[in-house]
Structure 1
Amino acid sequence: MSLGLIEARNDEDEFEFLGNGGALGRLIRDCDWASTPLGPARDWPGCLKTATALLLQSPVPIVMLWGEQGVMIYNDAYSIFAGGRHPDLLGSNVREGWPEVADFNDNVMKVGLAGGKLAYRDQELTLHRKGVPEQVWMDLDYSPVLDESGKPAGVIAIVVETTERVLADRRNAAEHERLQQLFEQAPSFMAMLHGPEHRFELVNPEYRKLIGERDVLGKTVGEALPEIAGQGFVELLDTVFETGQAVSRFSERVLLQRSGEAVEERYLDFVYQPIKSDDGKVTNIFVQGSDVTLRVRAENHQRLLVNELNHRVKNTLASVQSIVMQTLRGSHSMEEASGAISARILALSAAHNILTNENWDGADLSVIVASSTDAFDGPARDRFRIKGPHVRLGPRAALSMALALHELATNAVKYGALSNETGFVTIEWSVNNTGDDGAFMLTWREIGGPSAPVSDRKGFGSRLILRVLPMELGGTAQIDYGPEGFFFTLDTTLRAIEESVSGG
């Protein structure tokens, strides 16, 4: 056998311990170990060869740091972790191979060569695997490698990168926190119920507000909200849990006891949404909805207003019809009738405007008096002397009073104190709160006008103030023609004029 064949055979035998070491096995064969502190592979101690052979067979990223300098030998899995640092790391000292974490590795070598062990979970480090700083997280386990005499000669490091999982966990945690904030800040009420007993796991502030800030966590719906028993909600939850089908309700009436107060009627829009496990079984029910009590009450009030408006329109049309018919019956000419009809309808319209501004809840008597007499006052605004306490008229009384005052003023202009330049009218009213219904009296007194003889003519104005007005207000009316002029008195009760709901 020639000398060349013997030398080749010896070179191959130098790395025979590697066996099938994969890509890193081939690189180890090609590495110039003589230029490293380890020296040629033929001179390696048996413990180093055995440890190298073992790490090459592992699918887990492993790097061995040998000797005081921590010369690096690693496997295929670790080469992937090393990124752009591979293959230059092979055979280099760990401090030089990873200079950005030199202090960390100095401690590892110190502990490992002293026979100690280290373990880190999700250890954060900044590495330059791609030429730029990169934050990574790793599970790291370090243990000593013993030589033939039982003394630590190197350190084995199992390196499992957890960066992807850590970042995913952080994203999930951030998303969970964001959802928790949305849950807490949501304008609608929300709750999470667990199990077939519907036990409260989560409630947001709006739900706590809905139920009067009661402590319900850990309690079943029946325990936490006993007042809803018999209202059908627990049975509805049972159905959702058994069938796995969501249920929605709108403007649903519920009686709730809020903060120890009496049971209160509320209206809710809500959905019961089943939450299922991977095997398709319902585990939780998510409750979400809104308190729409104000909206429902507004809708109900609007319906009442529409019905009331319809009623009032009918009454107004009847009033207009009566004004037209009575005026035509008592007029001598179409011109007279046209003027009287227009004036009376305008008076009715002015009263309507006042009531509309008050949402048809009534009107102040002083406002009705001022509106009804304004068109008849002189340039000096001194033809009416008005005096009386605050009195609130109901809508029906306001309309009747406005028409009566208009007729009284019209007659005063035609025949009474307002027919000259010196006369005036006093309008006064008083109240007496004694008795169940109280008492109310209004007087119209004309002063300084021509004498007003008693008239046998009973036109629309006379019928309105003597018959219609007392009948509408449940009282009595009287007219006197004294030496000073015309005098009108209305007597009724406070209850009658304050009544806010019209009759049929």
Structure 2
Amino acid sequence: MIYNDAYSVFAGKRHPHLLGSNVREGWAEVADFNDNVMKVGLAGGTLAYRDQELTLHRKGYPEQVWMDLDYSPVLDESGKPAGVIAIVVETTERVLADRRNAAEHERLQQLFEQAPSFMAMLQGSQHRFELVNPEYRKLIGERDVLGKPVGEALPEITSQGFVELLDKVFETGQAVNRTAEKVLLQKPGEGVEERYLDFVYQPIKNDDGDVTHIFVQGSDVTLRVRAENHQRLLVNELNHRVKNTLASVQSIATQTLRGANSVEEASGAISARILALSAAHNILTNENWDGADLAVIVTSSLEAFDGPGGNRFRIRGPHVRLGPRAALSMSLALHELATNAVKYGALSNEAGFVTIDWSVIRKADSSAFTLRWCETGGPPMPASDRKGFGSRLILRVLPMELGGTAQVNYGPDGLIFMLETTMQAIEESVPGD
């Protein structure tokens, strides 16, 4: 073996003993490889290897190395191969660097694929899809977008300003962030779907500082936004109901005090009416303020007035669902009717009773609702000109709230109250102001 200075560096601790030695003995650990090289070279052939991996003992221990190797014959005076010239370029550092880069790329690719957020890589000024991860494919309805410009792959977003936003990022090199941004996406076979996204458009630049790609990353926050909107709606609705309740309490207090003969009478009446209002609130709260069953409202409103045997009220009627406004108004009205019956009517003695029934007559364009309160077995009750809080409530406030009419008659057996309105009015789900 005869070699130059560069080869002496490559040989490591084997230099200078390697100089002048037989190649098979000098590199004993790769003797078979070099036997083939000599055989081919001395036969006039050539060999070339790129990034050839070999295990050499250059530093006293086995070491994996990679090399570019070129072998060709050296001819003597007669033109016959007399030796082999070897050009050796060690590529170990580059090969290991490439492998590290490949492993890192694989790791990043796995992270890209497994990321819980949606990701996409857009290439060039047309924003052509180069990479998309599963979450992005899920967001856009599993459409095939690879290799297509954004405007062609997702035509519905063109008119929503997102392509112009990408153009701005590509031209200025400045990232763009958006929070809870509304986007309308055309899901194949499902129509347009409204989504809310947190996302960033991050420019990727080359060594010259020019933008070559835009990295898109974000999260679908539709459920969060809808929950926040629902919570905001609930808070507004709660404020609305609190204001209505306070207004009702204020009205109860004012009207009761106006007609009371004493502080004690006023205090008792106010407490009883607020308790009636509270009972209706409890029922509506258990139903998430979606409404209440009329039979439940009637039973709850009259429970405190029933006798020990529970036989003072005869209640019957079909299933009817009241809206919150109707439930509150009906509870207060029933409380006033029962209070009046205890003082002056059928509940003022041991024999009287009250029948409460209701009916629904359904028509093509609307349905009529009628509720009757009929007292039996009480003392005679002549009509009175005195209009207290209870009278105003059942004859003016209740029909006004429910868009109907109300009347009171005094029969030989006692008071008869009738309310007539429509099913649409009593099913109204949103309390009025």
TM-score by shorter chain over 0.5: yes
Question: 2:354, 2:80 → 1: CA distance?
Answer: 126
Partner of 1:187: 116
Query: Matched residue of 2:207: which SS?
Result: coil
Question: Aligned pairs, how many?
Answer: 432
Write the distance in 2 (CA, Å) between the matches of 1:170 and 1:143: 30
Specify which of 400, 403, 419 is matched with residue 490 of structure 1. 419
Q: Distance in 2 between matches of 1:199 and 1:168?
A: 30
Closer, same or farther: CA 306–97 of 1 in aligned 2, 3 Å: same
Classify 1:274/1:318 alpha carbon distance in 2 versus 1 (closer, same or farther; 3 Å): same
Pairwise CA distance, 1:495: 0.8
Report whether the alignment pairs 1:368 with 2:294.
Answer: no
Q: Could you state the TM-score of these two structures normalised by the residue count of structure 2? A: 0.84
Q: Secondary structure of 1:339's match?
A: helix
Q: Counterpart in 2 of 1:250? A: 179
1:56 matched to 2:37: no
Name 1:408's counterpart in structure 2: 337
1:268 match: 197
Partner of 2:381: 453
> Within 5 Å, which residues of 2 pair with 1:108-127?
108=37, 110-112=39-41, 114-127=43-56
- Partners of 2:56 and 2:272 in 1: how far apart? 96
- Of 123-132 and 428-437, deviating more is 123-132
- Asked if the contact 2:344/2:381 (under 8 Å) is kept, the reply is no
Match for 1:406: what amino acid? H
2:430 corresponds to which residue? Answer: 501
Displacement of 1:414 after TM fit?
4.0
What is aligned with 1:233?
162
Q: What's 1:38 paired with?
A: none
Which of 250, 275, 279 is matched with 1:346 structurally? 275
For normalisation by structure 1, the TM-score amounts to 0.73
Change in Cα spacing, 1:134 to 1:419, as seen in structure 2 (3 Å) is farther
Cα shift at 1:372: 2.6
Shift, 1:344, TM fit: 1.2
Residues 283 and 488 of structure 1: CA distance in aligned 2, closer, same or farther (over 3 Å): same
Whole-Å separation in 1 of the counterparts to 2:380 and 2:115: 75
Deviation at 1:473, TM superposition (A): 0.3
- Quote the residue 2:216 is aligned against: 287
Mapping 1:8-407, distance limit 5 Å: 52=2, 55-57=3-5, 59=6, 75-80=7-12, 101=30, 103-105=32-34, 107-108=36-37, 110-112=39-41, 114-127=43-56, 134-145=63-74, 155-377=84-306, 384-407=313-336
Give, in angstroms, the shift of residue 324 of structure 1.
0.6
Q: Structure 1: 5+ residue runs without aligned partners?
A: 1-47, 60-74
Higher relative contact order (CA 8 A, sep 6+): 2
Alpha-carbon distance between aligned partners in 2 of 1:173 and 1:411, rounded to the nearest angstrom: 89
Distance of aligned partners of 1:77 and 1:318 in 2 relative to their CA distance in 1, 3 Å threshold: same
Amino acid aligned to 1:337: A
Report the secondary structure of 1:223's partner residue: helix
Matches of 2:295 and 2:18, distance apart in 1: 101
Shift of 1:327: 1.3
Structure 1 CA distance for aligned equivalents of residues 135 and 239 of structure 2? 39
Classify the secondary structure of the residue corresponding to 1:436.
Answer: coil
Q: Secondary structure at the match of 2:121?
A: strand
- Return the alpha-carbon distance in structure 1 between the equivalents of residues 256 and 21 of structure 2: 119
SS at match of 2:432: coil
Q: 2-side partners of 1:375 and 1:135: how far apart?
A: 95
Aligned-residue offset at 1:472: 0.4
Alpha-carbon distance between aligned partners in 2 of 1:374 and 1:191, rounded to the nearest angstrom = 65
* 1:218 partner SS: coil
CA gap 1:120/1:483 in 2 versus in 1, 3 angstroms: farther
Aligned partners of 1:305 and 1:179: how far apart in 2?
A: 44
Q: What amino acid is aligned across from residue 243 of structure 1 in structure 2?
A: T
Letter of the 2:150 partner, please give it.
V
Call closer, same or farther: CA 1:245–1:139 in 2, change over 3 Å.
same
Amino acid in structure 2 at the alignment position of 1:79: A
Q: Secondary structure of 2:4's match?
A: helix
158 and 418 in structure 1: CA distance in 2 versus 1, 3 angstrom threshold: farther
Distance 1:368 1:242 in 2: 67
Cα gap change, 1:234 to 1:149, in 2 (>3 Å): same
Q: How far off is 1:122 after superposition? A: 2.9
Q: Name the residue aligned to 1:432.
A: 361
| Equivalent position of 1:475 in the other structure | 404
Counterpart contact for 2:346–2:379, Cα < 8 Å: no
Which protein has the larger Cα radius of gyration, Structure 1 or Structure 2? 1
Residues 427-466 of structure 1, C-alpha deviations (whole Å, 9 max, x = no match): 443333423232222333455x534524414322232122
Change (3 A) 1:439 1:107: farther
2:8/2:15 contact within 8 Å kept: no
Equivalent-residue separation in structure 1 for 2:104 and 2:67 (angstroms): 23
Partner SS state of residue 474, structure 1: coil
Deviations 1:366-387 (A, max 9, x none): 4433433344455665655544
CA distance 1:324–1:77, change in 2 (3 Å):
same
